[in-house]
Amino acid sequence: MFRQTISFALAVTAALFVTACGGSMASTPRTSGATGMSSTEDATITARVKTVLLNDTQLNATRIDIVTANGIVTMSGTVRSKAEEQRAIQLARQVSGVKDVKSTLQVSGG
């Protein structure tokens, strides 16, 4: 229950942050690269991936950082095992909007 509450709070915070940083209400979205994906879409994907990871009971995602650019999710930080890394990658790939997942996660037996 605590993990779900934290996950929800993170998702809401990310959504509010994205809204607050949006600047003007121009009708043309900001884009981040040739694909035309907006920074808002990337931030939404990041929030969704973090939420999915934090809600998963098989991994400890508190030490995993997520960055999304043009729909490509990059994970960094530490995990307890190679299996945990693979689980995190698998879950991230299932999130709507994710085009690819890259990992620089380090295994730290702790």
**Could you tell me the CATH number of the domain that includes residue 102?**
3.30.1340.30
Confidence band for 27, pLDDT divided at 50, 70 and 90: very low
Report if pTM > 0.85: no
**Domain count of the chain?**
1
Domain membership of residue 29 (yes or no) is: no
Look-up of token digits 């945990």: 84
| Burial of 6: CB neighbours in 10 Å, binned 0-12, 13-18, 19+ | middle
pLDDT digits (tens, 9 = 90+) for 74-93: 999 999 999 999 999 999 99
For residues 66-94, one letter each, b for 16 or more C-beta atoms within 10 angstroms of the residue's C-beta and e for the rest, the string is bebebbbbbbebbbeeeebbebbeebbee
pLDDT digits (tens, 9 = 90+) for 56-70: 999 999 999 999 999
Domain extent, residue 65, equals 2-24+38-107
Task: Give the separation between CA 50 and CA 68, rounded to whole angstroms.
Answer: 11
Facing residues of 23 across strands?
A: none
Domain membership of residue 17 (yes or no) is: yes
Q: What mean pLDDT do residues 96-100 have? A: 96
